[in-house]
């Protein structure tokens, strides 16, 4: 991992945020500048990531790889953080498949980050790496220098732009393409009159679409599958032309490595995938195992079912289906839908295999679809603010106002309350999720709503102002839905539920998401006497923060926010140690024991620096730091999404307070999160996170000057 030369000498946090409890306004106050001497360029190579610049030519055959204990794999820089798959994810599936190959052969993976395809191909040709484990198109030009595995997928290539062209053959257009990409050969073959401009740095498909939408470029070429995913959540790009020839994709290795190639092909033959995007299928479980090796889960992007947190895919339904798929030797693809009706349609069309989305099994629904046995039970409950007029019985609901969407399962329940107890029903906007309705109750914007007990448990872990005075309906079963005519899959999922339901593993997963114990630490300002130490780890923090030009007091403030200085802290989501990193993230940075204070501090500082460097150097240093803190908390992708939304709202996308933080809160609303790459995010978390760290830091500065 290359750490670029830091571009500023000091970190100056010059905004003082004070929230008025009644008006929630923000004031600005200058503080004294905090300066440090500029540092020499850091050249650190961790155990699991290497910089392309430091690589040496080391030819390796299979026996050398085995003896070394690791395999050197190439990855484009932007691929480090996962995105939210909406209909499977080619890059994620390839990565998981390759990591399975490494694990099966007792090897660690040493990832080598490069900025573009040209560097990637050169590194492999020059024996600076062992493999490119991604969906690399096989071309005759590449085949001269590299060996390819068996085909792993196939696709077509498409030209995209802002608007369609009536006659491509009569127009000379300028197409922007990554250097050394197969798209260049395709364009030259079919339209030699086109002007091709190369990009020095590879960017993801969403960023390319942004460049088109923002008129930075006119046209580019992408794989059809990538464009289909883009068009599932954005409407500002058009398919101009689909090229006729199919492209086959595989992994690439050095030439003259027959034993290595044989090992890879043998593994692929056993675990071969058939991309779920390439075919509509209605096969039962045994045929899926034999032919495609992937099972497609249809679900919602929501805090109960499936979401992205700190670059990791999570969710109660996602975790259960991930375990089910692994036990059957399958990979899991995810297909995101917005409504129950859309889920049923995708299932019927053969675009998914099972609906796992917290669906309530009712008598009416059970006559229309093939439901599994229950895998969870929830209660329907009234949600009220704890300062509102008390509710002891249903008779106390008379004259109260309840807000529910007409399309939700709670509408019929509300209608009964209206008829029997005189409650007033208000139809909530269909774009307002139940989570947001609960938030409106917490903020005293509406009187009451109805929600299921699981979602209420999530919200109560973040909000102290909610209570549930009445349970309306008890033990409503959640169940999976499969296609009629797929008895093997139905029997397998029922067997999985019977074995795990309410068992130890199941309860651990359920408590991870729905435990009533607070998942959010109670952050209280501790009194610090001038001249005293800020934490038990000040010396360690000073030592490791300094080379990265971080003010050590900022890191201490962040550490308090994350763990309250408890080195054994572990979050509900599996984050560990003083700086609360996920073990996988830490391992990829080269750190393995996060319960050791120094190792956790080093990993946290390095990860914060990595998030900072992903934001533009042109940003003011303090803004770049605010964005880095938000990305540390919620993930880089969610912050980038918030910047896009800020621009749409005519806010400043390069300023955090009162601008991007406002847009961040919008990521809890379906109206917004359905239109961005990384989907749903509990935006209030990073907003509170940055504000509280900043305020505490300002206090630390005052007492340590």
Q: Specify the pLDDT at position 85.
A: 67
Mean pLDDT is lowest, of 41-50, 70-79, 268-277, 460-469, for 41-50
Distance CA 255, CA 127 (A): 10
Distance CA 179, CA 197 (A): 8
- Give me the chain's average pLDDT, please: 84
User: Which one from 157, 304, 562, 685 is the annotated catalytic residue?
Assistant: 562
pLDDT digits (tens, 9 = 90+) for 177-231: 988 889 999 999 999 999 999 888 778 888 899 999 989 999 999 999 889 888 8
Distance CA 450, CA 42 (A): 54
Q: Specify the pLDDT at position 86.
A: 67
Is the domain of 155 the same as that of 241? yes
- Whether the pLDDT of residue 466 is over 90: the answer is yes
Burial of 701 (0-12, 13-18, 19+ CB in 10 A): middle
Angle in degrees, 0-180, between the axes of helices 552-563 and 538-545, rounded to the nearest 10: 120
Considering the domain boundaries, does residue 597 fall inside one?
A: yes
Q: Specify the pLDDT at position 701.
A: 85
Token reading at 157: 């290539």
Q: Specify the pLDDT at position 241.
A: 93
Neighbouring CB atoms inside 10 A of 206's CB total 22
Is the domain of 269 the same as that of 312? no
**Residue finishing a domain among 276, 304, 333:** 276
Q: What is the DSSP letter of 659?
A: I
Considering the domain boundaries, does residue 417 fall inside one?
A: yes
Considering the domain boundaries, does residue 622 fall inside one?
A: yes
Neighbouring CB atoms inside 10 A of 443's CB total 11
Q: Specify the pLDDT at position 95.
A: 82
pTM over 0.75? The answer is: no
Is the domain of 319 the same as that of 367? yes
Distance CA 231, CA 240 (A): 13
Rounded to the nearest 5°, which phi and psi values hold at 30? -80, 145
Is the domain of 263 the same as that of 381? no
Considering the domain boundaries, does residue 51 fall inside one?
A: yes
Is the domain of 200 the same as that of 71? yes
**355 beta partners:** 298, 481
pLDDT digits (tens, 9 = 90+) for 128-187: 999 999 889 999 889 998 999 998 888 899 999 998 887 777 678 999 998 888 999 999
Residue 644: in which H helix or E strand, if any? helix 636-648
Average pLDDT, integer, range 76-95: 67
Burial of 647 (0-12, 13-18, 19+ CB in 10 A): middle
- The SS3 assignment for 389 reads coil
Distance CA 351, CA 343 (A): 10
pLDDT digits (tens, 9 = 90+) for 514-529: 875 544 444 333 444 4
Distance CA 592, CA 574 (A): 14
Distance CA 515, CA 512 (A): 6
Is the domain of 454 the same as that of 500? no
> Is 675 in contact with 688 (CB distance < 8 Å)?
no
Residue 246: active-site member: no
pLDDT digits (tens, 9 = 90+) for 402-428: 999 988 889 999 999 999 999 999 999
pLDDT digits (tens, 9 = 90+) for 345-399: 999 999 999 999 999 888 888 888 999 999 999 999 999 999 999 999 999 999 9
Is the domain of 665 the same as that of 581? yes
Burial of 402 (0-12, 13-18, 19+ CB in 10 A): buried
Is the domain of 504 the same as that of 627? no
Q: Specify the pLDDT at position 39.
A: 34
Distance CA 541, CA 600 (A): 10
Distance CA 51, CA 113 (A): 6
Confidence band, pLDDT 50/70/90 cuts, at residue 609: very high
Confidence band, pLDDT 50/70/90 cuts, at residue 614: confident
Is the domain of 466 the same as that of 498? no
Q: What is the end-to-end Cα distance of the chain in Å, rounded?
A: 35
Place of tokens 């109960």: 304
**Number of domains composing the chain:** 4
Confidence band, pLDDT 50/70/90 cuts, at residue 486: very high
Q: What percent of the chain has pLDDT over 70?
A: 86
Confidence band, pLDDT 50/70/90 cuts, at residue 26: very low
Q: What CATH number should be reported for the domain holding residue 73?
A: 3.40.190.10
Write the CB contacts of 3 (distance below 8 Å, at least 6 apart in sequence). 41, 42, 43, 44, 548, 606, 609, 610, 613
| 318: nearest Cα among 680, 639, 689, 673 | 680
Taking only Cα atoms into account, the Rg of the chain, rounded to an integer number of angstroms, comes to 27
Q: Specify the pLDDT at position 38.
A: 30
Q: Specify the pLDDT at position 677.
A: 87
Is the domain of 474 the same as that of 490? no
The HSE-up count of residue 580 (CA atoms within 13 Å, CB side) is: 24
Is the domain of 215 the same as that of 166? yes
**384 beta partners:** 467
Q: Specify the pLDDT at position 45.
A: 31
Q: Specify the pLDDT at position 647.
A: 93
Considering the domain boundaries, does residue 504 fall inside one?
A: yes
Distance CA 520, CA 471 (A): 25
- Cα distances from 262 to residues 149, 437, 450, in angstroms, run 9, 57, 58
**Residue finishing a domain among 509, 524, 549:** 509
Considering the domain boundaries, does residue 19 fall inside one?
A: no
Q: Specify the pLDDT at position 159.
A: 95
Q: What CATH number should be reported for the domain holding residue 545?
A: 1.10.530.10
Considering the domain boundaries, does residue 388 fall inside one?
A: yes
Is the domain of 590 the same as that of 685? yes
Q: Specify the pLDDT at position 669.
A: 86
Q: How far is CA 418 from the centre of its chain?
A: 41
Confidence band, pLDDT 50/70/90 cuts, at residue 273: low
What is the 3-state secondary structure of 550-605? CCHHHHHHHHHHHHCCCCCCECCCCCECCCCECHHHHHHHCCCCCCCHHHHHHHHH
- Buried b vs exposed e over 359-368: b needs ≥16 C-beta within 10 Å? bbbeeebeee
Which range marks the domain in which residue 182 is found? 44-82+92-276
Considering the domain boundaries, does residue 37 fall inside one?
A: no
What is the 3-state secondary structure of 230-285? HHCCCCCCEEEEEEEEEEEEEEEEECCCHHHHHHHHHHHHHHCCCCCCCCCCCCCH
């Amino acid at each position: 991992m290359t750490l670029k030369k830091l571009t500023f000498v000091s970190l100056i946090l010059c905004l003082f945020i004070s929230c008025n409890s009644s008006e929630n306004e923000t004031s600005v106050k200058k503080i004294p500048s905090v300066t440090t001497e500029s540092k020499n360029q850091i050249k650190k190579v961790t155990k699991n990531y290497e910089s392309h610049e430091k690589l040496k030519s080391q030819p390796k055959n299979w026996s050398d790889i085995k003896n070394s204990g690791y395999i050197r794999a190439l990855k484009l820089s932007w691929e480090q953080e996962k995105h939210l798959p909406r209909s499977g994810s080619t890059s994620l599936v390839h990565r998981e498949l390759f990591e399975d190959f490494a694990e099966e052969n007792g090897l660690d993976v040493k990832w080598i980050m490069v900025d573009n395809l040209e560097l990637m191909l050169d590194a492999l040709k020059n024996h600076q790496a062992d493999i490119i484990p991604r969906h690399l198109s096989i071309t005759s030009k590449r085949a001269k220098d590299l060996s390819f595995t068996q085909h792993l997928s196939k696709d077509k290539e498409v030209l995209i732009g802002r608007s369609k062209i009536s006659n491509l053959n009569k127009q000379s257009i300028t197409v922007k393409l990554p250097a050394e990409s197969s798209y260049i050969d395709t364009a030259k073959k079919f339209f030699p009159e086109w002007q091709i401009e190369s990009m020095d740095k590879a960017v993801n498909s969403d960023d390319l679409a942004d460049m088109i939408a923002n008129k930075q470029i006119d046209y580019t070429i992408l794989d059809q599958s990538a464009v289909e995913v883009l068009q599932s959540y954005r409407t500002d790009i058009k398919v101009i032309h689909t090229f006729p020839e199919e492209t086959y994709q595989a992994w690439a290795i050095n030439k003259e490595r027959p034993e290595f190639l044989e090992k890879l092909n043998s593994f692929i033959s056993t675990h071969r995938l058939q991309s779920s995007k390439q075919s509509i299928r209605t096969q039962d479980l045994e045929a899926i195992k034999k032919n495609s090796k992937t099972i497609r889960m249809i679900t919602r992007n929501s805090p109960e079912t499936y979401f992205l947190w700190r670059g990791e895919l999570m969710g109660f339904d996602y975790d259960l289906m991930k375990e089910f798929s692994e036990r059957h030797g399958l990979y899991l693809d995810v297909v995101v839908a917005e409504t129950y009706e859309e889920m049923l349609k995708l299932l019927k069309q053969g675009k998914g295999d099972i609906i796992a989305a917290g669906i309530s099994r009712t008598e009416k629904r059970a006559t229309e679809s093939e439901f599994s046995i229950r895998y969870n039970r929830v209660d329907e409950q009234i949600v009220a603010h704890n300062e509102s007029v008390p509710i002891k019985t249903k008779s106390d609901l008379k004259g109260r106002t309840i807000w529910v969407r007409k399309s939700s399962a709670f509408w019929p329940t509300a209608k009964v309350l209206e008829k029997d107890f005189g409650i007033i029903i208000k139809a909530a906007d269909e774009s307002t999720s139940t989570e947001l309705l609960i938030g409106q109750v917490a903020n005293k914007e509406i009187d009451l709503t109805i929600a299921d007990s699981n979602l209420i448990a999530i919200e109560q872990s973040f909000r102290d102002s909610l209570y549930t005075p009445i349970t309306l309906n008890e033990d409503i079963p959640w169940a999976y839905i499969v296609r009629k005519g797929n008895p093997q899959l139905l029997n397998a999922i029922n067997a999985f539920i019977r074995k795990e339901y309410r068992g130890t593993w199941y309860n651990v997963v359920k408590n991870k998401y729905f435990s009533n114990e607070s998942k959010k630490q109670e952050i209280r300002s501790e009194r610090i006497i001038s001249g005293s130490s800020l934490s038990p780890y000040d010396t360690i923090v000073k030592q490791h923060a300094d080379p990265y030009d971080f003010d050590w007091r900022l890191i201490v403030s962040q550490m308090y926010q994350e763990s309250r200085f408890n080195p054994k802290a572990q979050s509900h989501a599996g984050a560990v140690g003083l700086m609360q990193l996920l073990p996988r993230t830490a391992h990829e940075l080269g750190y393995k024991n996060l319960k050791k204070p120094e190792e956790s501090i080093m990993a946290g500082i390095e990860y914060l620096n990595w998030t900072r460097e992903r934001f533009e150097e042109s940003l003011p240093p303090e803004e770049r730091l605010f964005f880095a803190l938000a990305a540390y908390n919620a993930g880089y992708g969610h912050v980038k999404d918030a910047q896009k939304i800020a621009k749409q709202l005519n806010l400043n996308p390069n300023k955090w307070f009162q601008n991007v933080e406002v847009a961040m809160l919008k990521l809890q609303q379906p109206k917004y999160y359905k239109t961005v790459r990384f989907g749903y995010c509990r935006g209030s978390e990073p907003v509170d996170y940055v504000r509280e760290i900043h305020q505490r830091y300002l206090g630390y500065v005052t007492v340590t000057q």
